[in-house]
Structure 1
Amino acid sequence: MAIKSEQFHLDPKFEGTLQQQIQHLVSQGVLSGRFLPGERMPSSRKLAEWLGVSRITVTLAYAELVANDYLTSRGRSGYFVSESAPPPPMLNQSEGDRQDAVAWDEMVSSRYSYRSSLVRPSDWRDYPYPFIYGQPDARLFDHDNWRRCALEALGRKNFESMTADPYEQDDPKLIEYIVRNILPRRGISAQQDEILVTMGAQNALWLCAQVLLNKDRVAAIENPCYPGLRDILDQTGCQIAEVRVDDDGLPPDELPGNCQVVFTTASHQCPTNTTMPIERRRALLNRSVEEGFVIVEDDYEFEMAFQKAPTPALKSLDRAGSVIYVGSFSKSLFPGLRLGYIVAAKPLIQEARSLRALVLRHPPGHIQRTTAYFLSLGYHDAMVNRMGQAYRRRRSVMDKAIRDHGLQIASGGSHGGSSFWMRAPEGVNTSELALKLRKSGVVIDQGRAFFGREDDNHQFYRLAYSSIPSARIPEGIQRIADVIR
């Protein structure tokens, strides 16, 4: 990396010559760690012009720095920070050199660091057998067309949508596509003012929880469920009722009679992947109407229903307006995009829009417009089709490998998805199993994080196939079976 002239500023109060001050600026940059070995210095001409001094002054300063091994000269290539320059001093501030005057344990009024997130190695891509969920596979992504859409979104024609602050509004092209193309595939009909774009599904769930819940209200959730949802609800102070799911998902008959909000992943229950049957969906909706609670449907993975036609969304069966639908582009595009949306009655959308404006105003305009182009030009549908074919092959290979090695799938009834919910044999702690498997190059999602904090369940684990090619699946499953044995 090249060091810019703009990083240097003369101090009129410096006691010494200009040459000495330039030497001081460079040496302190090296000793502070701002200038790293091998980085190229600005040319003597450019630095002299920037500082308003003669070129010979800079040249002499550089020569002195070379003599002291701060810089090295490479002929016509210029001056570079020396690979053997004096290293930055190792300052030990733990011995009392620095003391915080703030009692942070007392100052912090709310705690968020206890979250029950999944524990994964940050370098999971370096493992040969990554069975982890929700991460993209570069081999399946349409890089070229995404780049074209991004360039189009950054062009002059879209300057206003990219740079202007629309305050609380969303990109009209993206909203239009969601209304006319995305939602009809789920059997949902909605107006544009009944949709809000969010920073992913998790942000959508947070907005819903903040608008709907308080310490006097009860929220019912599935158990096991998405760990982030439980953490979100904790922050509202509401009472949480956990309802154990069965082979058909959330059982409506088990819901408490005093809840105001029910959260469900009806199409692909997280993490078991079970699909709630139509009869049960109708029963849930009927009870919602009778008892006056609302339902938040997290349809996070509906594009991955590749085994057969997806079941209509719970929202599509809603005639009373009691279902709040949450969608996401994280699985069909990539999680780093951070784009999702809420479909709900206008009063809910109005409040969620105002709350969103307080926190993040709106999702970035150029991201919304790039996504709108990628969707409207047909690239998204083509890519989802390719992903579905790849996932179908991977699922078939994994299903066979699991059965060949005698591993147990914990649930069925799924129309697709990108993972298997697994049950370990009696006596096997899957949290310990996950750590042992890393020594064999295998990464899995241990199941403990999906259960309530009082439910110390270490019997389950999740195997996803979104990030691992078919050819590596059999060997990875064999290694899991070997470690379990």
Structure 2
Amino acid sequence: MALPVETFFLQPGHQGTLQSQVQQMIAHGILSGRFGSGEKLPSTRKLASHLGISRITVTLAYTELVASDYLTARGRSGYYVSANAPVPPSYQPQPASGDAVDWTRAIGQRFSGGHTLSKPQDWARFKYPFIYGQTDPQLFDHTNWRQCALQALGQRDFAALTSDYFDQDDPQLIEFIQRNTLPRRGISANADQILITLGAQNALWLAAQILLTQRRTAAFEDPCYPALRDILTQSRCHLAPVRVDRDGLPPDGIPPDTDVIFSTPSHQCPTTSTMPMPRRQALLDRARELDALIVEDDYEFEMSFLNPPSPALKSMDTDGRVIYVGSFSKSLFPGLRLGYLVGSEPFVREARALRTSVLRHPPGHIQRTAAYFLSMGHYDAQIRKMSAALHTRRNAMQDAIEIHGLDIAGQGAFGGSSYWMRAPQGVDTRAMAQQMQGVGVLIEPGNAFFSGDDQPQGFYRLGYSSIHVDRIHDGIGLIAQHMKH
């Protein structure tokens, strides 16, 4: 039985080539059960005429479907749905039934309800997106990343693409981090002291799971990265938030019973303050005095475009008590989800085992693509391009903030990609953020960064990694105008 040509139509606005659209249209018909085994498809000439496309496009689509065993060609007779084509499931889905489980009792531990940051998924459509951590497509090296991805998908790298590393990582990526990334931070490590993670957040989770118990105490900065506070809360350890000052975490504020200290010395999150060298040494001394460990989150060191970055805390560590967390999310793009842990071998051994039991390892082809991008020099070129653009935007931000009289609560001495701001007395920045979306302005209210129930409502963060420099002045002007009303 021949399938009527009228049952075939292209979806308007569909992404991809015409050939891929024809292939998907036919494959979907087979997978959905509309086209059965042995049924004859319209001739290439007839389908091309019906769809208003070239005959060669339909012929190429049919040929690809034959190669995939969706179709079979029968000499001069034409094309038919293959007997080996995927068969749609024969069962009928059951109607949704009621839920008799009391989930308030069944759930043993809750992970929702934290003070997480949220960004609109369509942030790019806003004219003034002062949000943090998103990638500006104008600054990303699409061409070379695509070439590296294609190379990683090639036959030469078939093992890297398809192998189960189990508890290991791509040796090329490890080697680059070991020989290039870490030395720029003054850190020396061997391959057994480095573990690839799914971003910095995954690295922080691994560290918390390994180092903390219900009897141990974690000291952390207040305000801090909200996801870190959620991770520590979920670990059920004792929490010791320490209010930061203009130089970051004060060592003398760390309680005497602390076991693990979490800190962001290079760019404190969210105030962006940079910890001076004397305080870094004092923090190491305090950790030694308490026999505590330090987890150093160095998430944004590549963004030091004003002055050379200070040495990492890990580089000053002579006791092996600092665990270093790095990330490519800010310097490449957040969707990459690649970070790394550096620590003593006994710690990394446990982190490797825990990672293996949860997710094995980050995808091999992603690791190999990143390794190519880094080792071929594209990464350094992108960092230079981003640094120049961020420097220009920072100058524009500084000028606009001064002109419009806004109050800066914190700014990094070495660069970064955001300002920590303070609103006038009585302004609730959560309500302000909601209202400003109506005029195309995105800001991040600061309450989520603080611990406790009595969170300050007057702080907010302005990122400038995703907003064009020509729109900064007008966007800041709208914020200032809102403050006056």
- How far is 1:105 from its partner? 2.5
The equivalent of 1:444 in structure 2 is 443
Output the CA distance in 2 between the equivalents of 1:238 and 1:474. Answer: 45
* Conservation of the 8 A alpha-carbon contact between 2:298 and 2:325: yes
Residues 387-433 of structure 1 show CA distances to partners (whole Å, capped at 9, x for unaligned) of 00000000000011001000000024521000000000101111111
Output the CA distance in 1 between the equivalents of 2:224 and 2:458. Answer: 15
| Residue correspondence of structure 1 range 469-484 to structure 2 within 5 A | 469-484=468-483
Residue 171 in structure 1 maps to residue 173 in structure 2: no
Output the CA distance in 2 between the equivalents of 1:340 and 1:74. Answer: 49
Residues 354-381 of structure 1 show CA distances to partners (whole Å, capped at 9, x for unaligned) of 0000100000000000000100000000
Output the CA distance in 2 between the equivalents of 1:430 and 1:44. Answer: 51
Find 2:51's aligned residue among 77, 88, 93: 77
Output the CA distance in 2 between the equivalents of 1:100 and 1:40. Answer: 37
Output the CA distance in 2 between the equivalents of 1:41 and 1:174. Answer: 41
AA at the equivalent of 2:51 = S
The equivalent of 1:332 in structure 2 is 331
The 1:157/1:422 distance shift into structure 2, 3 A limit, reads: same
- Provide TM-score, normalisation by structure 2: 0.83
The equivalent of 1:138 in structure 2 is 137
The equivalent of 2:201 in structure 1 is 202
- How far is 1:108 from its partner? 1.8
- How far is 1:288 from its partner? 1.1
The equivalent of 2:119 in structure 1 is 120
- How far is 1:103 from its partner? 2.3
The equivalent of 1:269 in structure 2 is 268
Residues 326-379 of structure 1 show CA distances to partners (whole Å, capped at 9, x for unaligned) of 000001100000000000000000000000001000000000000001000000
- How far is 1:47 from its partner? 11
- Tell me, what secondary structure is at the counterpart of 1:288? helix
Output the CA distance in 1 between the equivalents of 2:442 and 2:290. Answer: 44
AA at the equivalent of 2:394 = R
- Tell me, what secondary structure is at the counterpart of 1:456? coil
Output the CA distance in 1 between the equivalents of 2:117 and 2:322. Answer: 28
RMSD: 2.6
Output the CA distance in 1 between the equivalents of 2:318 and 2:143. Answer: 42
The 1:43/1:400 distance shift into structure 2, 3 A limit, reads: closer
The equivalent of 1:192 in structure 2 is 191
Residue 248 in structure 1 maps to residue 222 in structure 2: no
Output the CA distance in 1 between the equivalents of 2:150 and 2:311. Answer: 36
The equivalent of 1:361 in structure 2 is 360
Output the CA distance in 2 between the equivalents of 1:244 and 1:449. Answer: 15
AA at the equivalent of 2:438 = K
Output the CA distance in 1 between the equivalents of 2:32 and 2:224. Answer: 59
- Tell me, what secondary structure is at the counterpart of 2:398? helix
- How far is 1:274 from its partner? 0.3
* Conservation of the 8 A alpha-carbon contact between 1:264 and 1:295: yes
Residues 281-325 of structure 1 show CA distances to partners (whole Å, capped at 9, x for unaligned) of 000101111210000000000000000110110111111111000
* Structure 2: gaps of 5 or more residues: 8-23, 53-93
Output the CA distance in 1 between the equivalents of 2:275 and 2:31. Answer: 68
Residue identity over aligned pairs, in percent, reads 54
- How far is 1:43 from its partner? 12
The equivalent of 2:228 in structure 1 is 229
| Residue correspondence of structure 1 range 275-294 to structure 2 within 5 A | 275-294=274-293
Residues 193-238 of structure 1 show CA distances to partners (whole Å, capped at 9, x for unaligned) of 0000000000000000000001100000000000000000011100
* Conservation of the 8 A alpha-carbon contact between 2:199 and 2:337: yes
Output the CA distance in 1 between the equivalents of 2:26 and 2:51. Answer: 10
Residues 163-210 of structure 1 show CA distances to partners (whole Å, capped at 9, x for unaligned) of 111110011000001010000000111111000000000000000000
| Residue correspondence of structure 1 range 373-384 to structure 2 within 5 A | 373-384=372-383
Output the CA distance in 2 between the equivalents of 1:364 and 1:273. Answer: 32
The 1:366/1:42 distance shift into structure 2, 3 A limit, reads: closer
Output the CA distance in 2 between the equivalents of 1:386 and 1:116. Answer: 34
| Residue correspondence of structure 1 range 145-160 to structure 2 within 5 A | 145-160=144-159
Output the CA distance in 2 between the equivalents of 1:348 and 1:295. Answer: 13
AA at the equivalent of 1:482 = Q
Output the CA distance in 1 between the equivalents of 2:403 and 2:388. Answer: 23
* Conservation of the 8 A alpha-carbon contact between 1:375 and 1:381: yes
- How far is 1:44 from its partner? 11
Residue 299 in structure 1 maps to residue 298 in structure 2: yes
The 1:193/1:286 distance shift into structure 2, 3 A limit, reads: same
The 1:168/1:433 distance shift into structure 2, 3 A limit, reads: same
- Provide TM-score, normalisation by structure 1: 0.83
The 1:191/1:40 distance shift into structure 2, 3 A limit, reads: closer
AA at the equivalent of 2:441 = V
Output the CA distance in 2 between the equivalents of 1:97 and 1:258. Answer: 52
Output the CA distance in 2 between the equivalents of 1:155 and 1:44. Answer: 31
- Tell me, what secondary structure is at the counterpart of 1:425? coil
* Structure 1: gaps of 5 or more residues: 1-17, 27-38, 60-72, 79-92
Output the CA distance in 1 between the equivalents of 2:473 and 2:425. Answer: 24
Output the CA distance in 2 between the equivalents of 1:47 and 1:197. Answer: 40
- Tell me, what secondary structure is at the counterpart of 1:165? coil
Residues 25-79 of structure 1 show CA distances to partners (whole Å, capped at 9, x for unaligned) of x9xxxxxxxxxxxx95579999999744464xx99xxxxxxxxxxxxx996339x
* Conservation of the 8 A alpha-carbon contact between 1:247 and 1:412: no
The 1:47/1:403 distance shift into structure 2, 3 A limit, reads: closer
AA at the equivalent of 2:50 = R
* Conservation of the 8 A alpha-carbon contact between 2:428 and 2:457: yes
